[in-house]
Amino acid sequence: MDAENHDTLTAARAWLQAGHAVVLVTVAATWGSSPRPVGAMMCVRDDGLVAGSVSGGCVEDDLIERIRRDGVPSHIGTVVYGVSKDEAARFGLPCGGTLRLVVEPLVQPLKQAGWIDTVLSHIERHELVLRRVDMHTGASRIALATGDETCRLDEDSFQTVFGPRWRLLLIGAAQTSALTAEIAKTLGFHVIVCDPREEFHRTWAVQQTELLTVMPDDAVLAIEPDPRTAIVALTHDQKLDDMALLEALKSPAFYVGALGSRANTDKRRQRLALLEVAPQI
């Protein structure tokens, strides 16, 4: 689950707690080009306030107008935009694209929307979870996901996956890591930053990231890298970077890299070769 969807659910929870009714809208399927991917979410408050996005803007405007005009719907349902070329052009969908959206009312915080607390708590523990909603009753169930599930809609149910599908471990908590972390979050990565140097980690302030202050090799072992993990060393301190790389290159991480000039990279290859690590960086 990317940072935008996390923020959307957090906003929905806050609005519900403040006594508002909320409509949660999720992209369930797309055909042709689409500004937002399947699983993208937005929530609309009963007075028209919005968090998140499911399109380029015109779809959002139409949904807001529907809710202001008709009120929050009483049952879960779907709506389709862009079936014809004229409608696609009207709603700003490129190349005749089509969106199918699941529209879910959240009007009883203690009963109907308590799942938001559960999902957010799983996310805070960096766990991937699957939510399945009954399209007839609106009842939902949550279970831990394996990572292979996808967002899927059929006549009876709608399932979505929440949580970090991809992880990025950054070695170093300086400015380069901060900029990299912000970019990675927008791409849906769960970002973990490791820096044992107090002068750096004490000032780390990037929101929605996890900070580790152990040695880099311990950090790599602690997160148990899998094929959905990338590891990048950015400290410019060969001792710290090399410690991370020694463990990272043994792991199933799909990407392992280190920042450095050509000359420094050549020296790093030589050092790792002396430690019987194949020069793969």
* pLDDT, position 281: 46
- pLDDT tens track for 253-274: 999 999 988 888 888 888 888 7
User: Is 60 exceeded by the pLDDT of residue 279?
Assistant: no
* pLDDT, position 141: 93
Q: What share of the chain has pLDDT > 70, as a percent?
A: 88
User: Is 80 exceeded by the pLDDT of residue 154?
Assistant: yes
- The reported pTM is 0.70
User: Is 70 exceeded by the pLDDT of residue 95?
Assistant: no
What is the average pLDDT score of the chain?
A: 87
Burial class (CB in 10 A: 0-12, 13-18, 19+), 240: buried
User: Is 70 exceeded by the pLDDT of residue 111?
Assistant: no
Dihedral over Cα of 118, 123, 125, 130: its sign: positive
Confidence of residue 86 (pLDDT cuts 50, 70, 90): low
User: Is 70 exceeded by the pLDDT of residue 229?
Assistant: yes
Most confident of 82-96, 116-130, 163-177, 192-206: 192-206
Assigned CATH topology for domain 166-274: Rossmann fold (3.40.50)
What mean pLDDT is predicted for residues 151-174? 91
What mean pLDDT is predicted for residues 115-129? 85
* pLDDT, position 278: 62
Domain boundaries of the chain, sorted by first residue: 3-162, 166-274
- pLDDT tens track for 9-64: 999 999 998 999 999 999 999 887 677 889 999 999 999 999 999 887 678 888 99
Distance CA 145, CA 126 (A): 12
Total Cβ atoms within 10 A of residue 95: 9
What mean pLDDT is predicted for residues 227-240? 92
* pLDDT, position 96: 57
Backbone angles phi, psi at 170, to 5 degrees: -105, 130
Confidence of residue 88 (pLDDT cuts 50, 70, 90): low
CA 221 to chain centre: 23
- pLDDT tens track for 183-222: 998 887 889 999 999 999 999 999 989 999 999 999 999 9
Confidence of residue 112 (pLDDT cuts 50, 70, 90): low
User: If we measure between CA atoms, which residue out of 187, 195, 279 comes closest to residue 230?
Assistant: 187
CB 167 within 8 A of CB 190: yes
